[in-house]
Amino acid sequence: MARKKIALIGGGQIGGVLVQLIAQKQLGDVVLFDIVEDLPQGKTLDIVEASRVDLFDVNLRGTNDYKDIEGSDLVIITAGLPRKPGMSRDDLLVTNAKIMKTVAENVKQYAPNAIVIVISNPLDAMVTLFQKITGFPTNRVIGQAGVLDSSRFATFIAWELGVSVKDVNAMVLGGHGDTMVPIVRYANVNGIPIMELLERKYNDKNKAKEVMDAMVNRTKMAGGEVIKLLKTGSAFYSPASSAVAMSEAILYDEKRILPTCAFLNGEFGVKGYYVGVPAVLGANGAERIIEFKLDTEEQTALDNSVKAVKGLVEDMTRLGF
């Protein structure tokens, strides 16, 4: 059986980690594209020279020519400027929209049958723009955000409770920004509600709520926290790892339910926009949306997040994209 072909657009920090993780997991042959001459060639050469050590046997190639992505089964896009300290995701809109336009035109030309995962920020706007330019079916164009945001939320919960993060289930909905919506009511440790465990720990409902509110806020600001610490860039390992989880679900047709920036057609009261929701990921991309009932507070928070996404899309349209 022929190996899948995976194209990575953008050879920066996330792109480099993606090559390494995909190679180590042997998900397929990789083409890493970047406009910077010799950069993708150098990164792929460095990684492939560890193939004997890490025991992987796939083909890795760096290129500055979009034609080399021809026939790719899966495309992961990280191209664009990363956020810097003091910069919001929205500040990136104009610059990264120009970059995404070029990327979309070339993916449409050379990999018209690919499933596409976008990581570039501002995420919800970039996924929308890519799909608009390519005209690809919406199930084949998705964004990575919810897997990462949910992992961050679960990590903070595990630290607070002193349990293994492997047993924490937590989910974040909405746009990938400060208005994202961590769903507290459904968060659990192997089925035990998080709030029940926090209330037992502190023997005080108000204290438990205060602690949870702090974790929710930290989740919303987690990307900015990393940026502040790094000073010269943004998170790269965790976004790459999250995209690989989505890639495995697609390439192996796992039917995993993962929080995904997916196109909504009435689900959760949203029609015609890309928003983070639980989706079944398989061989056909985002195969279906998993809708569930939100309480009034959760729905209000999601509506507010969708409003922010709509604002970004409107700004992008006003600017001619």
Residues ≥6 apart with Cβ < 8 Å to 192: none
Residue 91 has pLDDT above 80, yes or no: no
Instruction: Quote the percentage of the chain above a pLDDT of 70.
Output: 97
Report which DSSP code applies to 122: S
The residues annotated as belonging to the active site are 176
Report which DSSP code applies to 69: G
**How much is the pLDDT for 89?**
56
Residue 103 has pLDDT above 90, yes or no: yes
Over residues 200-221, the pLDDT tens digits come to 999 999 999 999 999 999 999 9
Over residues 3-44, the pLDDT tens digits come to 999 999 999 999 999 999 999 999 999 999 999 999 999 999
The distance of Cα 81 from the centroid of its chain, to the nearest Å, equals: 16
Residue 198 has pLDDT above 90, yes or no: yes
Over residues 147-165, the pLDDT tens digits come to 999 999 999 999 999 999 9
Collapsed DSSP state (helix, strand, coil) of residue 279: strand
DSSP H or E stretch at residue 60: strand 60-63
Give me the mean pLDDT over the 223-235 stretch. 91
Nearest to 126 by CA among 108, 99, 150: 99
Q: Tell me how far apart the alpha carbons of residues 218 and 87 are, in angstroms, rounded to a whole number.
A: 17
**How much is the pLDDT for 85?**
65
Residue 83 has pLDDT above 70, yes or no: no
DSSP H or E stretch at residue 23: helix 13-25
Give me the mean pLDDT over the 115-119 stretch. 98
pLDDT band at residue 233 under the 50/70/90 scheme: confident
Report which DSSP code applies to 119: -
**How much is the pLDDT for 94?**
84
Q: Tell me how far apart the alpha carbons of residues 135 and 217 are, in angstroms, rounded to a whole number.
A: 36
Token pair 């983070």 is found at: 276
Residue 63 has pLDDT above 90, yes or no: yes
Nearest to 188 by CA among 215, 205, 170: 170
Q: Tell me how far apart the alpha carbons of residues 226 and 247 are, in angstroms, rounded to a whole number.
A: 24
Q: Beta-carbon neighbour count of residue 162 at 10 Å?
A: 7
**How much is the pLDDT for 132?**
97
Give me the mean pLDDT over the 174-185 stretch. 95
Residues ≥6 apart with Cβ < 8 Å to 116: 74, 75, 76, 77, 107, 130, 134, 136, 140, 141, 142
* Cα–Cα separations (whole angstroms), residue 231 to 17, 185, 234: 19, 35, 8
DSSP H or E stretch at residue 304: helix 296-318
CB-CB contact of 168 with 81 (8 Å):
no
- Report all structural domains of the chain as residue ranges with CATH numbers, in order of start: 5-145 (3.40.50.720), 146-321 (3.90.110.10)
Q: Chain-wide mean pLDDT for the chain?
A: 95
Residue 87 has pLDDT above 70, yes or no: no
Q: To the nearest 5 percent, what fractions of the chain are helix, strand and coil?
A: 50, 20, 30
Token pair 């919800």 is found at: 124
